[in-house]
Structure 1
Amino acid sequence: MKKIAYIILAACATVLGATSCNDDFLERSKQGAVDEKSAFVTYETSYNYVLGLYNMFNGYTQFSGPAPVSGALGTSTRDIWSGILTNYGTGIGNVTNPYANQTVSIPTSDGTYTNPYVWIRMANLMLKHIDEPEATDAERLHLEALARFFRAYCHYTLMMTYGDVIYVDELLTETSEKLHAARDSRLYVADRIYKELIWCSQNIQDAVAEPNTVNSDVVKALLSRFALFEGTWRKYHATDESACAANDWITGTELLEECARVSLEVMENHPTLYYGNSPDTHPGKGWGEMWTTEDLAGVPGVLLYVKYVADYKMHRLGHFEHIGSASLEMPQCTVDLYLTEEGLPIHHRDVKTYDYTADGRYVESATPYDYADANIYRTLRKRDPRLTQMVMPPYHVFVGAGANDFTPDTSNGGKWTEYLRIFSSRGILNGATGVSTLPNPAAGYHFIDHHKALPSGNWGGNVLPNVPNVQTIGAYDNSVAAAGHQMIYGNKPFQRGRSGYFVWKHHACWDKQDQNNPREVSDKPVFKVEETMLNYAEAMWELGRFDQPVADLTINKLRDRAEMGRMEVSAIDASFDPDRDPSVDPVLWEIRRERLIELMGESFSFEDVRRWKKADWFVNKQHYGMYLDDAAASFGKAKPNTGGTGILNPTTRLEASAADLAAMGGAGHLYYYLDPLKAGKGWLEKYYLTPLPSDELLLNENLEQQELWK
């Protein structure tokens, strides 16, 4: 059987999947149309139907991550909710995170609730007809396992969002009692999900599975994800599990054991990590290239991915990071979470800081500085390389006669070229003139074969002359850099923000851009071994079995790929990170840190901080920006668009007055957003579970709203 074995929209499957909920449509289907009678005749027709279930991984815009997201922020919507990233499109002098601002309300309707049940119905329709197709025993088992996998996935997304939910394992009709059922206990739902995934892992037919489709490793990866979530949720939310023994339901501890078991099996099947395949030379490039690679087929550790094909199925996740609509950045509190290149927290007693020399070398600082209170060049210097692949590093260049032409600013001993030297050049050098030109990404693919390269530009190749490019009011002033002061304004309406830490995770220089239409074809992973490794490390700690060999098998493999210092478990004591949440064990804190950093921008963090019952620690932080050594000099002729100094007063947590700034020595962090707690806001206990849509309560009289939302 020859197929395009990619997760691409399957036309026939989509048509049937979109209409199969309507029994009247099935009865009235025209001759020759794909309907319930013709879809399940052979293995081939049934498999084409099941292909439609893969569409749930496309999300409701481009890409879903672990749960549906929406909008131009791509995979990071839920990372904004967790507080580790920021959407700067919401204005100045307020609280940007809806959870921190307490603006989350009960929706009238919500696809997060209804859409999984649409997919569940599609799966149940396949299962209703599972005995009908002409198929071998292996093919029939494979079809059943696929349908049950997707059904389990959808029930998992419902359970992790709402807790108790209605479990549906049959094809419902208009008279089905389930349409008016009360919610099932999450203990029961979790047990059903667990048993379903165990059955799938034992019965899915790897010999039948085509490349880049669900196989036993993908099933185990989902089981690993689900088991860690529910096992830790029950521990940290003190879930009453008394009903488990009476009903023979799986317990939280047993789920953690299952997480460790299946995670190790996946890790043993995929022992190698991806180190990148481009000519880029920046450290740890494999981490970033996982998201900017044209073809993930055969890439080590990728278990399942969304395949994009030119002129057929494309996205614009990277394009959004090139244009004025981009609104995703990193706050200083998350920058401070990244370790140094040696693997130490920034306030560790043995941490080192470095100076950059005119000849491009790094030497240990004679006078140490604080990474949390230093200009952006110093803050990002010799940190975990995943940081500068997540946020665009600083530089300054001169724009030439054409908007796409530039020359580096080599003044002041080349201090502005530090990161231009670390990253590949995005420009094409004219040897006769010494001027480089950015190619126009709107014109085609592969003008240059680099992934992360500098300087940056927009979709038309117009050069961004300075990073950071902070929103200001006033004139562009090259004399700031000429005088040796850090510039914070790029004079361009694109790739700008408020913190100075602009996110460029999906930024691929080779990918084609278009002002109005999706044109990118870089593939996006859905399941990969890196997540499973982190699941294993965390589960082993929760089971009391995390030690140096486990660290070497998991976290240190990730750090080796990132080209940074390894974790030494014995060195992690109570004083290892003075910034740690003191209620969290120091080793567990480092395991969780690694997870947040490795999966940054993939939308896992909102589920993580909820299951750890630590959302308040992360969500309630004040979001402010980079540090300026001399604010007046850095602003130059431009002015802060806050209407004041634009600098945070660390004592009042408000914008510093002119007198405050003078007393602070003229230096400080960019101010834009209020401290949630000082504003009388912050995370509420009821946010740990999402409220049910009010329309659903009207349709089903036996549904009850979440207790804390009543």
Structure 2
Amino acid sequence: MKKILQTLTIAAVLGLTGCNDSYLERLPNTEVTDATAFTSFATCSNYLANLYQMFGGGYTSFQGPAIVSGALGTSTRDIYSGILTNYGAGVGNISNSYANQTVTIPTSDGAYSNPYYWIRWANIMLDHIDDPACTDNERLHLESVARFFRAYAHYSLLVNYGDVIYVDHLLSDTSEELTKARDSRLYVADQIYKELTWCIENVQDNLAEPNMLNSDVMKAFMSRFTLFEGTWRKYHSVDESECSSKSYVTGNTLLQTCASVSKELIDKYPTLYKGNSQDIHPGKGWGEMWTSEDLQEVPGVLLYVKYVENYKMHRLGHFEHIGSASLEMPQSTVDLYLTKDGLPIHNRNVKHYDYDPETKSYKEGATYDYANCNMYRTFRMRDPRMWQMIMPPYHVLGQGDANTYKLDESAGGIWMEYINQFSPRGIYNATNGTYRIPNWASGYHQIPYHKALPSSNWAGNYLRNVPNVSLSNVMSDAITSAGFQLIYAGAGYQRGKSGYFVWKHHASWDKQDQNYAMETSDKPVFKIEEVILNYAEAMWELGRFDQSVADITINKLRDRAEVGLMQVSAIGSDFDPDRDQTVDAVLWEIRRERLIELMGESFSWEDVRRWKKADYFVNKQHYGVYLDNVAATFNNGKATSGGTGILNPATKLEASESELATMGNCGHLYYYLDPIKAGKGWLDKYYLRPIPSDELLLNDQLEQQEAWK
């Protein structure tokens, strides 16, 4: 029974499905009646298993991970925040709908309606909580699980809308909640807080099956909720005057709770996953969290999505192999990554390194600008989490067919820098020195490394060059043999506009198929890394962040990632000259760590909104990799049919031929318009979603968000 429940609720209920699957259309799988659903602990548990679908993200529309089996993976809301981009929009446009001011009031919105669906499902169980023939402890456990999910759904409403109608009992056609005004944010948050507190105190861990709700998962969610709401109130200057008279929880108490409950979990889960012992990649523990076949024994994973071969599989990695992939990283986010020494790229003490192809080693070298240099230098001696998130640069030589290649050792071996630090993909032929990549659709490509270079698509067709941009330029081995960097691979897959291609779920040991989900790598839902970051931030907000806190939070994450440790005393106002100067220098580093550690998990959208810093992130202009000799790299100096394809940093537009010449034939790939220069940009009304117009018609007591009227 335990194995069946675990598989059904985690693999099937949480599992990724094809684009046409609809949980709402399929549930319930069999007719549920009072006579059959609530007779015993087992039948009630089966009923509650349906609620695990909320962790799919798409049905609640709030922070991470939003499990989407598609081109954007788990990163949908990281695109809203501007941390990542969807390259589907044409060059010279504004791709982010918030930056482009194209967000409108919807007629209907699942972010509003779906949570109420799940709240009703939970309330049905609670309405029948006395029905099953079971022990008192079993009844407490059932009630705790149902109430947890009710709190979880209310939180998703709070995150998106602020004031919402709170529903704590089963509604009928005549219930007043159907025609009442929204409850205040303070009231809703207080109810969520009290509900979660009750659940943590009453859930029966001895009755919780593996990879199901228990007190630790509930504490992890309490940590998430309290940090969000506590910081939202601070940075949005929420009036808490009624908290005292109505005994509502205050923002300060929320942050205190975040700190205490997070510390409990940190103490209980002191070990971070450091990856497969055979894997050679730097920072492998961070990357393998998303590509491992089984997370059951991975330390600190509190709840995860389970996949089983031939039963329930997904396509997250597959989408990163094919032409449908549309997720990449802009230069502004690349610049957030620290050097391997743990310093911002423009810190006065930052070091720069030269690569020696002969010894495959680095030594400190001449100064250059990490933000304005070719891709090989940009990646050099940086936080390895960047390498795990973005495909590193390389070039290989074609051998007459789509699956066979040779390593390119021309130009002194400079194109081998990152292939040497990963591992060659494919089967080596010692006779002629070639590699051949098998067709992944025919079997698993079993090697002990979760990422390998060169990359390939599902059919084993190798990707000749990275970066691989959608703007074509001449592709010639003569260019690389002369020492000039290519930006084009001659392939229609694994490409973009920036040159920084995201490969977070890209795994060498996963089977791929053109049409079917074939991957079995598990995906985390709650993990200790998020809790660690919650604790660090809450402690700073409470004025209690010091070196001892940094050591058990930020430095624990950096140690696993193989990055230089944080020295709090060294972080002065000039530590990072690129930071938002309105944010305290230490807090900026805590937030940076959060953005990097949780990159691609959809947390950043909620983060930049609760910090009230969406304008800072969303309004950035997105542009791509730097080319240090455009004339040599491009055919006749052109990357597009209409211009040079290079950004003019002065005009923030595509450089003309003459402008490029004055720039020394160097610059970043032109990508998207600057939102502010284009007369667009973030509007403060976007901090909360508008109420769907259909909901206003159904309930005349509902009022539209003030900023949206």
Structure 1 length as normaliser, TM-score? 0.96
Q: CA deviation at 1:319?
A: 0.8
**Take 2:470 and 2:221, find their aligned partners in 1: how far apart are those partners?**
42
**Take 1:254 and 1:88, find their aligned partners in 2: how far apart are those partners?**
42
Letter in 1 for 2:289: M
Tell me whether 384-393 or 625-634 shows the greater mean CA deviation.
625-634
Q: Counterpart of 2:622 in 1: which secondary structure?
A: coil
Q: CA deviation at 1:364?
A: 4.0
Q: Counterpart of 2:484 in 1: which secondary structure?
A: coil
Q: 2:11 aligns with which of 8, 13, 24?
A: 8
- CA distance 1:181–1:405, change in 2 (3 Å): same
Q: Residue 490 of structure 1 corresponds to which residue in structure 2?
A: 489
Question: In the alignment, is the contact (CA less than 8 A) between 1:477 and 1:636 conserved in 2?
Answer: no
1:110 aligns with 2:109: yes
**Take 1:265 and 1:134, find their aligned partners in 2: how far apart are those partners?**
35
Q: 2:54 aligns with which of 50, 53, 56?
A: 56
Q: Residue 254 of structure 2 corresponds to which residue in structure 1?
A: 255
Q: CA deviation at 1:642?
A: 5.8
Q: CA deviation at 1:8?
A: 2.7
Q: Residue 45 of structure 2 corresponds to which residue in structure 1?
A: 47
Deviations 1:650-688 (A, max 9, x none): 111111111110001000000021101000010001000
Q: Counterpart of 1:103 in 2: which secondary structure?
A: coil
- CA distance 1:21–1:447, change in 2 (3 Å): closer
**Take 1:429 and 1:273, find their aligned partners in 2: how far apart are those partners?**
35
Tell me whether 486-495 or 418-427 shows the greater mean CA deviation.
418-427
| 1:237-386 to 2 correspondences below 5 Å | 237-277=236-276, 279-386=278-385
Question: In the alignment, is the contact (CA less than 8 A) between 1:283 and 1:563 conserved in 2?
Answer: yes
Deviations 1:442-485 (A, max 9, x none): 12224323211111000111000100001123542221111100
Q: Counterpart of 2:396 in 1: which secondary structure?
A: strand
**Take 1:69 and 1:699, find their aligned partners in 2: how far apart are those partners?**
31
Q: Residue 80 of structure 1 corresponds to which residue in structure 2?
A: 79
Deviations 1:365-420 (A, max 9, x none): 54200000000000010000000100000000012233111110001111000000
Deviations 1:489-535 (A, max 9, x none): 00000000111100000001111111112111111000000000000
**Take 2:495 and 2:622, find their aligned partners in 1: how far apart are those partners?**
16
Q: Residue 18 of structure 2 corresponds to which residue in structure 1?
A: none
Q: Residue 435 of structure 1 corresponds to which residue in structure 2?
A: 434
Deviations 1:206-229 (A, max 9, x none): 101011001101000000000000
Letter in 1 for 2:688: L
Tell me whether 374-383 or 354-363 shows the greater mean CA deviation.
354-363
Question: In the alignment, is the contact (CA less than 8 A) between 2:211 and 2:302 conserved in 1?
Answer: yes
**Take 2:552 and 2:366, find their aligned partners in 1: how far apart are those partners?**
37
Question: In the alignment, is the contact (CA less than 8 A) between 2:631 and 2:637 conserved in 1?
Answer: no
Letter in 2 for 1:520: E
Q: CA deviation at 1:74?
A: 1.8
**Take 2:65 and 2:624, find their aligned partners in 1: how far apart are those partners?**
29
Q: Counterpart of 2:151 in 1: which secondary structure?
A: helix
Q: Counterpart of 2:493 in 1: which secondary structure?
A: coil
**Take 2:53 and 2:80, find their aligned partners in 1: how far apart are those partners?**
25
| 1:124-143 to 2 correspondences below 5 Å | 124-143=123-142
**Take 1:492 and 1:407, find their aligned partners in 2: how far apart are those partners?**
17
Q: Counterpart of 2:654 in 1: which secondary structure?
A: coil
Number of aligned positions between the proteins: 700
**Take 2:616 and 2:361, find their aligned partners in 1: how far apart are those partners?**
35
Q: Counterpart of 1:424 in 2: which secondary structure?
A: coil
**Take 1:307 and 1:361, find their aligned partners in 2: how far apart are those partners?**
39
1:506 aligns with 2:494: no
- CA distance 1:475–1:350, change in 2 (3 Å): closer
Q: CA deviation at 1:141?
A: 0.8
Letter in 1 for 2:55: F
Q: CA deviation at 1:247?
A: 0.4
| 1:596-615 to 2 correspondences below 5 Å | 596-615=595-614
1:588 aligns with 2:591: no
**Take 1:235 and 1:62, find their aligned partners in 2: how far apart are those partners?**
25
**Take 1:279 and 1:639, find their aligned partners in 2: how far apart are those partners?**
44
- CA distance 1:92–1:69, change in 2 (3 Å): farther
Question: In the alignment, is the contact (CA less than 8 A) between 1:473 and 1:639 conserved in 2?
Answer: no
Q: Residue 623 of structure 1 corresponds to which residue in structure 2?
A: 622
- For structure 2, list consecutive stretches of 5 or more residues without a partner in the other structure: 15-20
Q: Residue 17 of structure 2 corresponds to which residue in structure 1?
A: none
Q: CA deviation at 1:60?
A: 3.8
Letter in 2 for 1:644: G
Q: Residue 25 of structure 1 corresponds to which residue in structure 2?
A: none
Question: In the alignment, is the contact (CA less than 8 A) between 1:480 and 1:636 conserved in 2?
Answer: no
| 1:672-683 to 2 correspondences below 5 Å | 672-683=671-682
Question: In the alignment, is the contact (CA less than 8 A) between 1:141 and 1:204 conserved in 2?
Answer: yes
Q: Residue 35 of structure 2 corresponds to which residue in structure 1?
A: 37
Question: In the alignment, is the contact (CA less than 8 A) between 1:645 and 1:656 conserved in 2?
Answer: yes
**Take 1:517 and 1:65, find their aligned partners in 2: how far apart are those partners?**
27
Question: In the alignment, is the contact (CA less than 8 A) between 1:87 and 1:328 conserved in 2?
Answer: yes
- CA distance 1:74–1:65, change in 2 (3 Å): farther
- CA distance 1:21–1:290, change in 2 (3 Å): closer
- CA distance 1:637–1:478, change in 2 (3 Å): farther
**Take 2:603 and 2:673, find their aligned partners in 1: how far apart are those partners?**
25
- CA distance 1:131–1:421, change in 2 (3 Å): same
Deviations 1:276-332 (A, max 9, x none): 115221111000000000010011010000111122211111111000011110000
Tell me whether 140-149 or 425-434 shows the greater mean CA deviation.
425-434
1:94 aligns with 2:93: yes
**Take 2:641 and 2:511, find their aligned partners in 1: how far apart are those partners?**
36
Q: Counterpart of 1:304 in 2: which secondary structure?
A: strand
Question: In the alignment, is the contact (CA less than 8 A) between 1:302 and 1:529 conserved in 2?
Answer: yes
Structure 2 length as normaliser, TM-score? 0.96
Q: Residue 461 of structure 2 corresponds to which residue in structure 1?
A: 462
**Take 2:604 and 2:187, find their aligned partners in 1: how far apart are those partners?**
25
**Take 2:638 and 2:648, find their aligned partners in 1: how far apart are those partners?**
18
Q: Counterpart of 1:580 in 2: which secondary structure?
A: coil
**Take 2:263 and 2:541, find their aligned partners in 1: how far apart are those partners?**
15
Question: In the alignment, is the contact (CA less than 8 A) between 1:119 and 1:154 conserved in 2?
Answer: yes
1:657 aligns with 2:660: no
**Take 2:26 and 2:37, find their aligned partners in 1: how far apart are those partners?**
11
What is the identity percentage for the equivalent residue pairs of Structure 1 and Structure 2? 66
Q: CA deviation at 1:632?
A: 1.9
Q: CA deviation at 1:362?
A: 4.0
**Take 1:313 and 1:76, find their aligned partners in 2: how far apart are those partners?**
21
**Take 1:246 and 1:287, find their aligned partners in 2: how far apart are those partners?**
46
Q: Counterpart of 2:371 in 1: which secondary structure?
A: helix
Tell me whether 632-641 or 272-281 shows the greater mean CA deviation.
632-641
Question: In the alignment, is the contact (CA less than 8 A) between 1:229 and 1:611 conserved in 2?
Answer: yes
**Take 1:270 and 1:405, find their aligned partners in 2: how far apart are those partners?**
45
**Take 1:636 and 1:63, find their aligned partners in 2: how far apart are those partners?**
45
- CA distance 1:395–1:18, change in 2 (3 Å): closer
Q: Counterpart of 2:395 in 1: which secondary structure?
A: strand
Letter in 1 for 2:185: R
Question: In the alignment, is the contact (CA less than 8 A) between 2:314 and 2:520 conserved in 1?
Answer: yes
Question: In the alignment, is the contact (CA less than 8 A) between 1:441 and 1:509 conserved in 2?
Answer: no
Q: CA deviation at 1:62?
A: 13
Tell me whether 452-461 or 470-479 shows the greater mean CA deviation.
470-479
